[in-house]
Structure 1
């Protein structure tokens, strides 16, 4: 049985993920505009539905961390086992969210270990948990780990073991944009672009290679350098990047998952 606190953390994580899905316009990523397009409507509906399937697994991760009380190899193994079961459940519900599941899972567990932790301490706790090897992990390399090894990219595991630097960068971007008077949608888009501008996204490396990754990073930087999405120039640069990525079929899914992690951490003080 999970506690009300564990369920609250899980629901906050799912809300962060669905909030990321509701954000628009996201360059190269599913968003509500897909509901008007027959070719992509089903994918977006499926992602919204399957996001809710993460809740039981995330609550179980929080309960495991709260019961263990500290970052240990045992906790890491339990989180791995719960995560793989949750991946299966999400697959039955429509699929997707693999990267977001692991990012949110580590962050939910870290929040359960220390409910009063601020963002930096939370990231440090997540880093401690991720630092242990998951002895129950499948021996067969995943697509992400294969791409990470091939190109030297950090990947999801490296991001967690580094203490989620891109989650922290996204939180800084959120605060900066809000202080400058941006709307919440604009602040979140700026946070997404901040992640996209530097993340070694293994999904992009898989589909587009190093050239594609650099192209997307440069496009994201271009929007930010134009003043961000709250400015006319930035909005025009975002529209151009969005059209470009959609035409090429390139999707920075890794950045979307880390934005969901940042939105979860951002919401913690209100729980």
Structure 2
């Protein structure tokens, strides 16, 4: 990703934030090898996704992210009106995404998580407040805690069905809590792996795996039940215990984990969305 937030107007800052959000999505999907997820090798556990489709989907969301940043400038603070404006923008962005993908859900979860942190970052930039990762996540959680009164009645999502059936937290609760998977697991692992001298790709993969090891991923539960979730979490924990992607043993265990997940058609889509969100936040913080 390549962007600078020190610009002459907020309008151009909103464009930079949108570019950074799209770049984070592109970086996430191109990161290879991700276990059972779409990457440069293929479609992973998915029959309806390709790398090219994911990239087109990501680029289609740029106007939405830009509009969310502009909404933050317009309102200037966390409030009901801002929450409902970005909710409407998110629904419009999702419809645009579905047009581009011909109905395939590629980035619905990322629209929620990255949309919130883009809005939170824009608020903090506009108000000349620090935009370190934890600050942004706190502001994002304040926005997420406000209920959108204009959410239309629609078909219950797979994630919501899983949450209701198994009593687990999903993407909404993760945001309302301030993205603890990112701040307590993904981010510390990303920084630790960099400090250990691994490549940037290895550091990002380890960050993904650290979140897979802890996240109650509703995408995995929907596809493979709680047994599938346990298999993912235990396998990811073992990869990290063996040194992560930077060691031969860790890489071997990661390959085994991928085979296990492919066999049950389980895809850690929730963790992938959080990785893209982390990559956006990491890039923003570097320009703080």
TM-score range, shorter chain: over 0.9
> Which whole-Å CA distance do the structure 2 matches of 1:72 and 1:261 have between them?
22
Measured against aligned partners, the alpha-carbon deviations of 1:180-226 in whole angstroms (never above 9, x if no partner) come to 01100000000000110111111111111111111111111110011
Q: In the TM superposition, what is the alpha-carbon distance from 1:56 to its structure 2 partner?
A: 0.4
Residues 129-148 of structure 1: pairs in structure 2 closer than 5 A = 129-140=143-154, 141-148=156-163
Residues 244-259 of structure 1: pairs in structure 2 closer than 5 A = 244-259=260-275
Partner residue of 2:176 out of 161, 164, 167: 161
Measured against aligned partners, the alpha-carbon deviations of 1:153-187 in whole angstroms (never above 9, x if no partner) come to 21110010000111212111110000001100000
Greater relative contact order (Cα < 8 A, sep 6+): 1
Residue 226 of structure 1: aligned partner: 242
The CA RMSD measured in Å over matched residues stands at: 1.7
Measured against aligned partners, the alpha-carbon deviations of 1:35-90 in whole angstroms (never above 9, x if no partner) come to 8x9x9696221111111011100111111112111111111111110000000001
- Asked if structure 2 preserves the Cα contact closer than 8 Å seen for 1:34 and 1:41, the reply is no
> Which whole-Å CA distance do the structure 1 matches of 2:223 and 2:49 have between them?
21
Residue 23 of structure 2: aligned partner: 15
Structure 1: tracts of 5 or more residues without a match: none
1:150 aligns with 2:192: no
Residue 178 of structure 1: aligned partner: 194
> Which whole-Å CA distance do the structure 2 matches of 1:198 and 1:253 have between them?
14
1:241 aligns with 2:257: yes
> Which whole-Å CA distance do the structure 2 matches of 1:25 and 1:56 have between them?
30
Residue 122 of structure 1: aligned partner: 136
SS in 1 for 2:244: coil
TM-score, scaled to structure 2: 0.89
Residue 89 of structure 1: aligned partner: 96
- Asked if structure 2 preserves the Cα contact closer than 8 Å seen for 1:153 and 1:200, the reply is yes
Summarize the Cα distance change of 1:202–1:41 in structure 2 as closer, same or farther, 3 Å threshold.
Answer: closer
Partner residue of 1:111 out of 89, 114, 121: 121
> Which whole-Å CA distance do the structure 2 matches of 1:42 and 1:151 have between them?
27
- Asked if structure 2 preserves the Cα contact closer than 8 Å seen for 1:34 and 1:40, the reply is no
Q: In the TM superposition, what is the alpha-carbon distance from 1:270 to its structure 2 partner?
A: 4.3
Residue 55 of structure 1: aligned partner: 62
Measured against aligned partners, the alpha-carbon deviations of 1:118-144 in whole angstroms (never above 9, x if no partner) come to 111111000000000011112343332
More helix by share: 1
Partner residue of 1:27 out of 35, 47, 53: 35
Structure 2: tracts of 5 or more residues without a match: 1-9
